[in-house]
Amino acid sequence: MAQVLGIVDIVWKGVNIPVEKGAKVKLGGLKNNPVIYGRRVDRAQEFVASEISATTALRRDQRYSDLFTVEEGELQVHCDTGQTFVFSDAFMTDPPELTGGEGGKAELKWQAGEYQEILG
């Protein structure tokens, strides 16, 4: 049996953020867009941003500013299957909403440019 992705760990600006099951990573890079001329289709490339989202919780004695910052920084996404994706220019997009009654859940969202993949 082969192992498949199960656990994702997030490290934002050197701080490990525990996240709930269901974190999402959409790796950015070059994409092909169709360009149509009559009955012919060519392609034009475009760069798309990486998108990362994960849910954590606001804990007692933790500041909201520990979860959300407007500055850029390094984001690392560690997969239990051995891959690590490092985004050197990541930034958070939306301030997280806090959900009461469910452990103070907060969805964190980042976007970033190119990434480095490390397999270890």
Domain boundaries, the chain: 8-119
Q: Are 75 and 10 in contact (CB under 8 A)?
A: yes
Residue 54 to residues 24, 34, 105: CA-CA distances in angstroms?
A: 6, 32, 10
* CATH assignment, 8-119: 2.40.30.200
| SS3 call for 12 | strand
| SS3 call for 78 | strand
pLDDT by residue, tens only, the chain of 120 residues: 888 888 899 999 999 999 999 999 999 999 999 999 999 999 999 999 999 999 999 888 888 887 889 999 999 999 999 999 999 999 999 999 888 877 789 999 999 999 999 998
Task: Provide CB contacts within 8 A for 45, sequence distance 6+.
Answer: 30, 31, 32, 33
Q: How many other C-beta atoms are found inside a 10 Å radius of the C-beta of residue 16?
A: 11
